[in-house]
Amino acid sequence: MKKWIKILTIIFLVGIIGAGFGYKFVYNKPHRDYEKAKADYSISGKELFLQFNNSTTQASERYTGKVLEITGHLSNVETPDSLIIAVFTFAEGMFGDEGIRCAMLPKYAENISQYIGTDVKLKGYCTGYNETDVIMEKCSVIN
Amino acid sequence: MKKIKLLALIFMVVSCAGYSQKYFTKNGHIKFYSETPIEKIEAHNRQVNSALDASTGDFVFKVLIKSFEFEKALMEEHFNENYMDSDKFPDATFTGKIVNTSAIDFLKDGMYDADVEGDLKIHGETKKVKEKGTFEVSGGKIIGKSVFIVHPADYKIKIPNTVVNNIAEDIQVTVEVILEQVNK
């Protein structure tokens, strides 16, 4: 009898611990740290934009969902809504400037503006091309 | 050969005529919300491209699926990999028209009810939709808002049995765009 109780207690405890681990590391697992992530591709911003602009499908298959390191001349920083967006402009379209729009991680909110008008290297998660711009999320400055 | 872009397409006729009232934003906001007794799930995308031609009522938006942000990383992963197949279908689009343009004066400040009709393409599936929304004209800007329901099953989005109780059959989608006139 006692042995059964022991075994059941152990199974019960293992179950509780397993559920705890599952909750913490699976259900509540943290978002990927894109600041520390290794870049899949390192490419000039202009080249990236042109590839998406000229052959969207091929460029999307290669770069969408990947961590990219891009270099380019930072044109502007916009702050719509709660976002901080580093803007690289490479073309002029029907609706105005076209290029790459990088949503910065909050910790770069203060210092990204200092790079306007200079060459900068950013790393982030590419989510694709929306017919005017290539979009990058969770971006950090590498300079 | 350069293909014609969706956003550009709807404006071509009007532009050729040399008269248009084009409005545009790159920072529209789309939210979706799913609620079941077990779980509430909410996701936001704040980099939505949207364009409106006030003279014809043509209205489009385009959203990148991978730009949706969730509170939990696991949900974001499931959303992209299991439900939306975002590698295969990286974006969703709406191409349509405001049906009752005669009832809206885009040059006069005010709040107007709008009936919008068109094609909603999600997960590679296109459905005709007819929704209600509002357009608020304020100081030269047009603020468009609409809340509508999307059924994942209509777009061939399969929810696995293991989480079928966690995800609602009716997903509430909220679209909010602050459109500014294009200076061209």
Residues A57 and A81 in one domain: yes
Residues A48 and A99 in one domain: yes
Please enumerate in sequence order all residues whose Cβ is within 8 A of that of A61, keeping only pairs 6 or more positions apart, or say none: none
Q: Give the residue carrying structure tokens 């076209």.
A: A98
The whole-number pLDDT of residue B33 equals 96
Task: Kindly state whether residue A23 falls inside one of the protein's structural domains.
Answer: yes
Tell me if chain A has a CB within 8 Å of the CB of B163.
Answer: no
Q: State how far the Cα of B51 lies from the Cα of B119, in Å rounded to an integer.
A: 15
User: What residues of chain A lie within 8 A of the CB of B91, using their CB?
Assistant: 128, 130
Our CA-based measurement puts residue B66 at a distance from the nearest CA of chain A, in whole angstroms, of 5
Q: State how far the Cα of A128 lies from the Cα of B66, in Å rounded to an integer.
A: 8
Share of chain B above pLDDT 90, in %: 79
Tell me if chain B has a CB within 8 Å of the CB of A37.
Answer: no
The domains of chain B, with CATH numbers, are 22-181 (2.40.128.110)
Give residue-wise pLDDT tens across range B69-120. 999 999 999 999 999 999 999 999 999 999 999 999 999 999 999 999 999 9
Residues A18 and A61 in one domain: no
Residues A91 and A60 in one domain: yes
Tell me if chain B has a CB within 8 Å of the CB of A50.
Answer: no
Nearest Cα residue in chain A from B11:
A94
Residues A60 and A96 in one domain: yes
Residues A23 and A68 in one domain: no
For B66-170, where are the E strands, in sequence order?
69-70, 91-98, 110-122, 125-138, 141-150
Q: State how far the Cα of B181 lies from the Cα of A111, in Å rounded to an integer.
A: 30
Residues A82 and A103 in one domain: yes
Task: Kindly state whether residue A17 falls inside one of the protein's structural domains.
Answer: yes
CATH number of the domain bearing residue A74: 2.40.50.140
CB contact under 8 A, A101 and B63: no
Average model confidence (pLDDT) across chain A = 93
Residues A57 and A85 in one domain: yes
Residues A23 and A78 in one domain: no
Task: Kindly state whether residue A14 falls inside one of the protein's structural domains.
Answer: yes
Task: Using alpha carbons, list the distances in angstroms from residue B7 to A83, B32, B52, B59.
Answer: 24, 23, 9, 9
CB contact under 8 A, B74 and A133: no
Residues A22 and A90 in one domain: no
Task: Kindly state whether residue A100 falls inside one of the protein's structural domains.
Answer: yes
Residues A23 and A47 in one domain: no
**Number of Cα atoms under 13 Å in the Cβ half of residue B148:** 18
B3 pLDDT higher than 80: no
Domain of A112 in residue numbering reads as 41-141
Residues A49 and A92 in one domain: yes
Give residue-wise pLDDT tens across range A113-138. 999 999 999 999 999 999 999 999 99
The whole-number pLDDT of residue B11 equals 60
Total domains present in chain A: 2
